């Protein structure tokens, strides 16, 4: 997610040494070693790069028919994280679990009717966009922040935001800081060379504070444990992950408090390649359907009980027959290229937004994140589904 | 005949050798040789003419190097332009966007100002570290040769331990074991009001300047000149009469006396400033961050272990006769070291020690590991926040080059002064 200094140096070196061939490797100059490795050590991606000879120079992805390709392949290649608990992680049995993973399953359920028809492609932060551009993955769902330069420069198209994250501040509970405004003259730790540093500097403004930056999260954690810094700032979801794993010898998670305030915008959502509008819209509407289902009160457990509902909106959503005034019976067709009733498949497979949230990152999980901005708009949150009609 | 011989010598050395002495040259041989020379002209063809080849090779070498540089430069600018990284150094004027610990750099400060702070922080490590590591290095180096078993073994263990650990590891150990376990800022250790120790910073009593301080500094400069004159005078007295010169005492006395007079005349040009901690706000005194002390201790101890080996080797390299002569003069062990062995060992030790100084400077770039805002950390911080990496790396290279060149220059001057004139 953030640039590391090594990458910077390598990039600088690559710039000097890379022979200037205008063709072929345009998109991979910055990430060369990473992407090659990813391709080599990832045997699960058999359907990916290999059968994609249409990948053209200059990183311009094929404006191909991703939907047809995924359906003929019978599996969705989903680029994910495998190291962030709650979002994208491998459980002890080696299965991928997490918030982002559930969205991969939702897409597979909508497109293929089978939530398990997913090939997970674990990617690190530097590999992810190259993997997307090269066609190695069909969709990137890997806690990726939607920014203008990624939408533009990286050739990605972002879908509806799945998780509204933001930078937060974690303090020791015993210090009793209730707000960042109480933290004048404190010392704050963050990682070197990240947007986090800028955000926290902006947040403090004229209030004096010391910014201690570390290259490595482990050293940072030790410094924080020893009391060298009063606050630890990072994305809130990451802080929650750290807090949930905080050693019991230091008082466990209760010894730490994550302040309510959020002082940067990190909208995380799925991304697809530029140039395949239909596919991008499908991803968009899968996310929207999951949000819409919560609004309708449709859950994985009760989706079958709606067969007799009178609500025409719900009947449209679930692909049920609708009788108009003349007695004609139709099934709503969205024109997205999916089977009618795909919404029901998605909800039956992974549940609605509230279920996905509660299962992976909600208050009852180790991360213990409140819904906050990720509530429905009717509850004062930011989740708003365009009408399904 | 002489004219031919002159022409022959460079071109046909074997032939001239074969001809032997001056007076044994037979006319027949001369005629054979001169005819071939006449056919070939006096000079060999240009592709075998050393005078031409020399020039050609140098021009070619220059061209090849120039070509390589040009290709690298072309690649760099072209790739940068293609990826959309800005060329040039205009970004130095833009706001840096982050605050820098222990400085007044805030989000709105220009990038170059943050870099200057980084260079100052690097300099703070160098200016304190080099003298410290020299002293420790010499002491340990001498100790390794001590006849006292305990002293010698302790020094050996110190050298062999530190010399064989990567400096990054030494720094992390110093940080985790030496700095982090110190008391927290809420519960600091105060030493008689004079120093405050906690794991964020260590503050000691210092001085603050009052009005008139600059006048006082001029007076002290004058005092320095006067004491230098006194030094020469006492030396002259000693040379002339053989009376004890006591020139150190004399000079220091003059200096101190003038200082006290100046201090009283101006009226407190400076005063003591004790560190005061109010909550988390430190005022007064001199202070350094935890990361600074972790770096300083780690790098000084690490580099001193290398210097110690140089010192030990140099002492052993002083001819044994020198020691024996000193013993014959009934000099004590210390006198022998002070007046005979060390002065000669120093001449041998100085050049390799420069390398260790330079290593020390370069190793300060590891401060990024423990969050010490030296120039490398600042540069990478800026790169992470969207500043162009190639230019930043160039600036970093230039900064370390300047540090290294200045240190080499100073030590080389010292080295030249120390060398025996007769050699």
Give the separation between CA A384 and CA B358, rounded to whole angstroms: 61
Q: Residue A49 has what pLDDT?
A: 38
B185 backbone dihedrals φ, ψ, rounded to 5°: -70, -25
Using CB atoms and an 8 Å cut-off, which of residues 139-178 of chain A contact chain B?
153
A216 chain-B contacts, CB cut-off 8 A: 369
Q: Could you give the angle at which helices B290-317 and B111-144 cross, rounded to 10 degrees?
A: 40
Residue B40 above 60 pLDDT? no
How close is the nearest chain B Cα to the Cα of A230, in Å?
A: 10
Q: Which of A12-21, A361-370, B115-124 has the lowest mean pLDDT?
A: A12-21
Question: Distance between CA atoms of A196 and B267, rounded to whole angstroms?
Answer: 50
Tell me which residue has tokens 């600036």: B395
> Do the Cβ atoms of B390 and A15 come within 8 Å?
yes
Per-residue confidence (pLDDT) for residue A78, from 0 to 100: 96
Structure tokens at B247: 């020139």
Do A5-164 and A167-264 come out as alike in CATH topology? yes
State how far the Cα of A176 lies from the Cα of A170, in Å rounded to an integer: 11
**How far is B259 from B269, CA to CA, in rounded Å?**
11
The span from the CA of B225 to the CA of B215, in Å, is: 16
The span from the CA of B419 to the CA of A194, in Å, is 52
CA distance B232 to B209: 32
Task: Name the residue in chain B with its Cα closest to that of A211.
Answer: B101
The packing angle between helices A277-296 and A66-73, to 10°, is 80
Distance CA A94, CA A263 (A): 35
Residue A1, pLDDT above cutoff 50: no
Q: Beta-carbon neighbour count of residue B365 at 10 Å?
A: 18
A171 forms beta bridges with: A231, A257
Pairing type for strands A167-172 and A329-331 reads unpaired
Are B375 and B122 in contact by the 8 Å Cβ rule? The answer is yes
DSSP E strand boundaries for A192-351: 210-214, 231-235, 256-258, 266-268, 271-273, 321-323, 329-331
Domain regions of chain A by residue span: 5-164, 167-264
Task: In whole angstroms, give the CA distance from residue A313 to residue B222.
Answer: 95
User: Which has the minimum average pLDDT: A215-229, A282-296, B75-89?
Assistant: B75-89
* Position B300 pLDDT exceeds 70: yes
Task: Examine the pLDDT at B318 and tell me if it is beyond 80.
Answer: yes
C-beta atoms of B98 and A211 within 8 A: yes
Q: Which of A225, A363, A231, A348 is nearest to A298 (CA)?
A: A348
Q: What CATH code would you report for A167-264? A: 3.40.190.10
Distance (Å) from the C-alpha of residue A40 to the closest C-alpha of chain B?
A: 25
d(CA A316, CA A331): 7
Residue B3 has pLDDT above 60, yes or no: no
Answer yes or no: do A201 and B369 touch at CB < 8 A.
Answer: no
CA distance B87 to chain A (A): 12
Between CA A32 and CA B150 the distance in angstroms is 56
Nearest-neighbour CA in chain B from A43: distance (Å): 30
Share of chain A above pLDDT 70, in %: 82
Task: Say how far apart CA B181 and CA B5 lie, in whole Å.
Answer: 86
Question: With bands split at pLDDT 50, 70 and 90, how would you rate the model's confidence at B32?
Answer: low
Q: At what angle do helices A99-112 and A277-296 cross, to 10 degrees?
A: 110
What is the pLDDT confidence band of residue A21, given thresholds at 50, 70 and 90? very low
What CATH fold (topology level) applies to the domain B111-205+274-418? Answer: MetI-like fold (1.10.3720)
- In degrees, rounded to 5, the angle at the alpha carbon of residue A125 between the alpha carbons of residues A120 and A129 is 75
Q: Work out the angle between the directed axes of helices B389-418 and B342-363 (0-180°, nearest 10).
A: 170
Domain ranges of chain B: 2-42, 50-84, 111-205+274-418
Mean of the per-residue pLDDT values for chain A?
A: 80
pLDDT per residue over B103-138, tens digit each? 888 878 888 999 999 999 999 999 999 999 999 999
Nearest to B200 among A4, A187, A204 (CB): A187
Give the chain A residue nearest B109 (alpha carbons).
A201
pLDDT band per the 50, 70, 90 thresholds, residue A384: very high
With pLDDT > 70 as the criterion, what percentage of chain B qualifies? 88
Q: Which of residues 214-253 of A touch B (CB under 8 A)?
A: 214-216, 219, 222-223, 225-228, 230
Taking an 8 Å cut-off on Cβ atoms, the answer to whether B389 and A194 are in contact is no
Q: Which candidate from A17, A187, A192 shows the least CB-CB separation from B377?
A: A192
What's the start-to-end Cα distance of chain A, in Å? Answer: 37
Whether residue A227 and residue B199 make contact (CB cut-off 8 A), yes or no, is yes
Name residue, tokens 């365009």: A386
Q: Whole-angstrom Cα distance, residue B248 to residue A39?
A: 73
B391-415 pLDDT, tens digit each? 888 999 999 999 999 999 998 888 8
Residue A294, pLDDT > 90, answer: yes
What confidence score (pLDDT) does residue B37 get? 52
Interface of A with B in 3-22 (CB under 8 A): 3-5, 8-9, 11-12, 14-20, 22
Average pLDDT (A335-358) is: 91
- Which residues lie below 8 Å from residue B164, measured CB to CB, with a gap of 6+? none
Are B384 and A8 a contacting pair at CB < 8 A?
A: yes
Contacts with B369 from chain A: Cβ below 8 Å: 214-216, 219
- Residue carrying structure tokens 């030494």: B170
Under 8 Å between Cβ of B290 and B201: yes
In this structure, what DSSP letter does residue B337 have? I
User: How confident is the model over A36-45, as pLDDT tens digits?
Assistant: 333 333 334 3
pLDDT of residue A251: 83
Whether the CB of A2 is below 8 Å from some CB of chain B: the reply is yes
Write the DSSP assignment of B287-322 as a string of letters.
EEEHHHHHHHHHHHHHHHHHHHHHHHHHHHHS-HHH
For A18, the closest of B75, B97, B291 (CB atoms) is: B75
- What are the chain A neighbours of B180 within 8 Å (beta carbons)? 222-223, 225-226, 228
pLDDT digits (tens, 9 = 90+) for B194-234: 888 988 888 888 888 888 788 888 888 988 999 999 989 88
ipTM: 0.73
- Parallel/antiparallel/unpaired status of strands A321-323 and A329-331: antiparallel
Q: Strand B270-273 and strand B189-191: pairing?
A: unpaired
Does domain A5-164 bear CATH number 3.40.190? Answer: yes
8 Å CB contact between A27 and A59: yes
């Amino acid at each position: 997610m953030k640039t590391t200094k090594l990458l910077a140096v390598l990039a600088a070196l690559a710039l000097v040494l890379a022979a200037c061939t205008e063709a072929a490797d345009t998109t991979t100059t910055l990430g060369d070693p990473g992407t090659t490795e990813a391709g080599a050590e990832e045997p699960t991606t058999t359907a990916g790069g290999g059968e994609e000879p249409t990948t053209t120079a200059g990183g311009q992805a094929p404006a191909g028919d991703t939907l047809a390709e995924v359906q003929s392949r019978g599996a969705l290649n989903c680029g994910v994280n495998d190291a962030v608990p709650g979002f994208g992680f491998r459980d002890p049995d080696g299965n991928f679990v997490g918030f982002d993973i559930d969205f991969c399953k939702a897409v597979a359920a909508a497109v293929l009717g089978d939530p398990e028809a997913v090939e997970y492609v674990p990617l690190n932060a530097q590999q992810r966009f190259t993997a997307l551009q090269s066609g190695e993955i069909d969709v990137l769902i890997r806690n990726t922040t939607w920014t203008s330069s990624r939408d533009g420069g990286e050739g990605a198209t972002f879908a509806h935001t799945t998780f509204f994250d933001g930078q937060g501040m974690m303090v020791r509970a015993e210090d009793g800081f209730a707000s960042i405004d109480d933290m004048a003259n404190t010392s704050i730790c963050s990682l070197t060379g990240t947007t986090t540093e800028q955000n926290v500097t902006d947040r403090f403004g004229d209030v004096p504070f010391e910014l201690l930056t570390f290259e490595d999260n482990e050293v940072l954690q030790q410094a924080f444990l020893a009391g060298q810094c009063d606050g630890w700032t990072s994305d809130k979801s990451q802080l929650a992950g750290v807090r949930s794993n905080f050693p019991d010898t230091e008082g466990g998670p209760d010894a730490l408090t994550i302040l309510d305030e959020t002082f940067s915008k990190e909208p995380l959502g799925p991304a697809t390649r530029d140039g395949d509008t239909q596919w991008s819209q499908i991803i968009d509407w899968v996310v929207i359907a999951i949000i819409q289902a919560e609004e309708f009160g449709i859950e994985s457990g009760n989706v079958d009980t709606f067969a007799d509902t009178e609500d025409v909106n719900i009947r449209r959503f679930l692909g049920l027959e609708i009788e108009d005034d003349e007695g004609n019976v139709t099934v709503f067709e969205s024109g997205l290229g999916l089977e009618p009733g795909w919404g029901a498949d998605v909800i039956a497979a992974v549940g609605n937004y509230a279920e996905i949230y509660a299962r992976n990152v909600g208050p009852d999980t180790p991360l213990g994140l409140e819904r906050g901005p990720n509530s429905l708009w009717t509850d004062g949150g930011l989740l708003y589904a365009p009408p399904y009609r | 005949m002489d004219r031919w011989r002159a022409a022959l010598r460079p071109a046909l050395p074997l032939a001239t050798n074969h001809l032997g002495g001056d007076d044994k040259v037979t006319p027949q041989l001369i005629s054979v040789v001169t005819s071939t020379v006449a056919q070939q002209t006096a000079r060999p063809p240009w592709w075998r003419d050393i005078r031409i080849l020399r020039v050609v090779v140098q021009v070619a070498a220059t061209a090849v190097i120039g070509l390589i540089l040009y290709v690298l430069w072309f690649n760099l600018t072209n790739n940068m332009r293609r990826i959309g990284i800005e060329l040039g150094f205009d970004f130095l004027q833009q706001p840096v966007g982050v605050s820098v610990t222990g400085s007044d750099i805030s989000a709105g400060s220009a990038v170059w100002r943050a870099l200057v702070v980084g260079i100052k922080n690097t300099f703070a490590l160098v200016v304190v570290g080099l003298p410290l590591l020299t002293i420790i290095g010499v002491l340990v180096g001498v100790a390794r040769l001590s006849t006292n078993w305990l002293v010698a073994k302790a020094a050996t263990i110190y050298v062999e331990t530190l010399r064989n650990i990567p400096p990054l590891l030494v720094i992390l150990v110093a940080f985790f074991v030496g700095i982090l376990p110190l008391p927290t800022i809420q519960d600091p250790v105060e030493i008689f009001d004079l120093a405050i120790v906690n794991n964020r910073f260590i503050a000691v009593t210092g001085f603050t300047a009052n009005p008139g301080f600059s006048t006082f500094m001029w007076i002290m400069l004058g005092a320095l000149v006067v004491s230098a004159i006194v030094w020469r005078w006492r030396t002259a007295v000693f040379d002339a009469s053989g009376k004890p010169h006591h020139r150190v005492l004399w000079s220091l006395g003059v200096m101190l006396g003038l200082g006290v007079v100046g201090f009283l005349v101006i009226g407190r040009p400076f005063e003591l400033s004790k560190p005061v901690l109010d909550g988390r706000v430190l005022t007064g005194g001199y202070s350094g961050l935890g990361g600074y002390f972790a770096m300083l201790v780690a790098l000084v101890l690490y580099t001193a272990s290398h210097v110690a080996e140089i010192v030990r080797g140099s002492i052993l390299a002083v001819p044994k006769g020198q020691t024996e002569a000193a013993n014959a003069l009934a000099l004590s062990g210390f006198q022998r070291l002070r007046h005979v062995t060390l002065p000669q060992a120093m001449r041998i030790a100085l050049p390799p020690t420069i390398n260790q100084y330079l290593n020390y400077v370069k190793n300060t770039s590891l401060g990024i590991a423990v969050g010490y805002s030296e120039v490398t950390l600042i540069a990478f911080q800026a790169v992470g926040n969207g500043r162009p990496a190639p230019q930043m790396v160039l600036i970093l290279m230039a900064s370390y080059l300047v540090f290294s060149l200045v240190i080499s220059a100073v030590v080389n001057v010292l080295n030249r002064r120390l060398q025996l004139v007769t050699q």
